[in-house]
Amino acid sequence: MSAGHHEKELDLYDKRILSELEQNARVSIKEVANKVGLSRNAVANRISRLEKTGKIAGYTIHRGFDNQLQTRSTAIMMIQRSDRMKGDDVIDFLRQIQEVKFCYVVSGTLDLILELEAETHDRIREIWRQLSDLPGIIDTRTSFVLTTLISRDCLSNQEKENEI
């Protein structure tokens, strides 16, 4: 296969390797090789290619949580803009805020949906005030997360179901 082919689409082995790494980024190459049915060298080469082509953008951890002991505040903020995402001012502002965990551009009445995680509710309120003062913001709606019942990587699970 040509290098261009690898950049455009993932084959079944690539998808299975990615799925294994999504479940545990610290898994050994030997264990991945055994699970996907390839040699260690083949898996190592594929992982290297996936990193070089940006299919693997990095490795991270997911912090565990205990809703009784949770000390951080999580909020979902929905934003409506007058210019329908024509300027970069709001996005540039959001990129500077470390508490923004996810920022989605969405269809419909709203323009952006954010997930914020901060040390306190007051910090989220401060971000809301700063954001509300930006030109072009028509409306914001913020909901604080009370409890996390499910936390998983749904895309990875869906890909697994499609392979069966």
Q: 83 and 34 share a domain?
A: no
> What is the Cβ-side half-sphere exposure of residue 113, based on CA atoms within 13 angstroms?
8
pLDDT digits (tens, 9 = 90+) for 122-132: 999 999 999 99
- Structure confidence at residue 150 (pLDDT): 80
67 in any annotated domain? no
Residue 132: burial class (beta carbons within 10 Å; 0-12, 13-18, 19+): exposed
Task: Provide the whole-model pTM.
Answer: 0.56
43 in any annotated domain? yes
Q: Domain of 57: which CATH number?
A: 1.10.10.10
95 in any annotated domain? yes
Please state, in angstroms and rounded to a whole number, the distance separating the CA atoms of residues 93 and 41.
44
Q: 78 and 134 share a domain?
A: yes
Please state, in angstroms and rounded to a whole number, the distance separating the CA atoms of residues 102 and 105.
10
Residues of the chain with pLDDT under 50: 1-6, 157, 164
102 in any annotated domain? yes
66 in any annotated domain? no
CA 143 to chain centre: 20
pLDDT digits (tens, 9 = 90+) for 67-102: 555 568 999 999 999 877 677 888 899 999 999 999
68 in any annotated domain? no
- Structure confidence at residue 149 (pLDDT): 84
Q: Which domain holds residue 117?
A: 73-144
Q: 47 and 99 share a domain?
A: no
